[in-house]
Structure 1
Amino acid sequence: MSPDEMLGTRVGRSSEGRNCSSESKRKRGGQNYETIEVIRNAMEFVNDRLKTIAD
């Protein structure tokens, strides 16, 4: 699973050819909660990977 797949991010292309988040300009209700959950899931994933490497 790639980091983008794990975090649920999508990269779009703007008309100028710059990379940008597809939702970077929009705010939705519950966004802070979703962000916290993404961070927690990422930390758990990385911790599991590090434990596997250490063993």
Structure 2
Amino acid sequence: MSMIVFALFQPNSNLSTLALVILSIAIAIRNWKNQRYAAMIFLLLAVMGFTVFIKIIF
């Protein structure tokens, strides 16, 4: 999780940012049944990563 947070503030490339967004969504889906709070945090990180990805592109 710390790597996801670090990459949101220090993105090296578009591909790594997009990969981290997909990874955080996958973790959120896996944890949704048992740990809803953690899943919501990962979804929030995915939204933040997606906005960084859009800012890099445009």
TM-score, normalising length: structure 2: 0.47
Q: Highest CA radius of gyration, 1 or 2?
A: 1
Higher relative contact order by CA 8 Å / sep ≥ 6: 1 or 2? 2
* Between structures 1 and 2, the one with greater helix share: 2
TM-score, normalising length: structure 1: 0.49
